[in-house]
Structure 1
Amino acid sequence: MPGAEFLWLLLRHVLPRRFRRVRDFGILHANCKRLVQLLQLVLKVPIPSPRLPLQRSPVLCQSCGKAMTLIARMVRIPEHQLC
């Protein structure tokens, strides 16, 4: 990708001076969860019940056969794609 095209795509996300992101105000604000819950209650919007995490079988040690405690997990990061 040419440098000029990359800069154009990047600068499309920069707001002009004195403009604010919409998500910083109203019900899109990060601290507005209670208001959203109240609106859902008043408007009788069906609220889905939280899903319980799936119970996985324990990982067993190959040497002694006891259950191991996982302290970290390696996650493959997909390659980034612009647009």
Structure 2
Amino acid sequence: YIDSETKQTQIKTLPTLKFLWQILQHVIPKGFRRVRDYGLLHGGASKTLKKIQLCLIMAHKLDLSIIKPVARKKAQCLCRCCQQPMNFLGITRPFGYG
């Protein structure tokens, strides 16, 4: 291994089980993927990650109390025949589905 303080290669003797334990800590279980290979942790995404970090820093400095919340209406489905709002009662699934 390389000593982090002296940056020199060192030799370390370990018992067999301890050696295997330290090696197997770096093995990913079957079916798992390394997170750093995808998304914003991917090596090619460093510019995007830096932009997002900068935006978060700037957003933290903004005074968001001046922004008024927008009142949202619930979406309603209208009947095709009478144009009156329809009430949702439930979902019917075919027999044997899910």
TM tier, smaller: 0.3 to 0.5
Q: TM-score, normalised by structure 2?
A: 0.40
Greater relative contact order (Cα < 8 A, sep 6+): 1
- Structure number with bigger Rg: 2
Q: TM-score, normalised by structure 1?
A: 0.46
Which has more helix, going by share of residues? 2
